[in-house]
Amino acid sequence: MSDKTIFERIFAGEIPARMVHEDEVCGAFHDINPQAPTHVLVVPRKPIPGISALSASDALIVGHLFVVARRIAAELGLDGGFRLVINDGEDGQQTVPHLHVHLLGGRKMTWPPG
Ligand code: AMP
C-alpha cells in the first residue's frame, strides 16, 4: 500500500495525466473530471496537505502556483478571464489531501459558488 497522494503518484509517473506544465516546484495537468471547458490543477511537488497546513516557509511555493496558473491561463487562451479555486478540508469539499489550485475557464462562471 502506498501512502503517497494521488498527485505524488502522478509526479512519479505511476498514474498517467495530461501534463501542461512541469518545473522544479510544481506541475500542472488537466483535471480528470473537468467542471469547465478548461480545468487544470496546479500542484506543488511538496505534498502540503492543504491551505490549513501551510507554514510561513511555504509562501514562495504558493506564490509560484499562482504565477504558473496565470501563465497557463494565457497559454490556453483564457483571455476573457478565469477562476482559481482552492478547496480546504471537509467543509471546503477538498477530496485530495495535497494542495492544488483549480484553474477553471472557457465558460462564464456563476457566483456564489456551490
Ligand atoms: P478537490 O476536491 O479540491 O480536492 O479536487 C481534487 C480534484 O482532483 C478533483 O477535481 C478531481 O477530479 C481531481 N482528480 C482526482 N484524481 C485525478 C487524476 N488521477 N488526474 C487528474 N485529476 C484528478
Summarised one tens digit per residue, pLDDT across range 40-73 is 999 999 999 999 999 999 999 999 999 999 999 9
The domain made up of 6-105 is a member of CATH 3.40.50.620? no
Give the residue, out of 6, 9, 30, 31, with the most ligand 1 atoms within 8 A of its beta carbon, to mutate for a pocket test. 31
pLDDT of residue 1: 53
**Residue 19: CB within 6 Å of ligand 1?**
no
- CA of residue 64 to ligand 1 center, whole Å: 20
Indicate the pTM of the whole model. Answer: 0.97
Q: In this structure, is the dihedral angle defined by the CA atoms of residues 100, 106, 112 and 114, taken in order, positive or negative?
A: negative
Question: Which protein residue has the closest C-alpha to ligand 1 atom 17?
Answer: 32
Q: What is the mean pLDDT of the chain?
A: 97
pLDDT of residue 114: 82
- CA of residue 60 to ligand 1 center, whole Å: 23
Q: What is the largest CA-CA distance in the chain?
A: 44
Task: Give 113's Cβ-side CA count (13 Å radius).
Answer: 10
Q: Residue 36: helix, strand or coil by DSSP? A: coil
Q: Is 100 a catalytic residue?
A: yes
**Residue 88: CB within 6 Å of ligand 1?**
no
Residues of the chain whose pLDDT is less than 50?
A: none
pLDDT of residue 98: 98
pLDDT of residue 2: 64
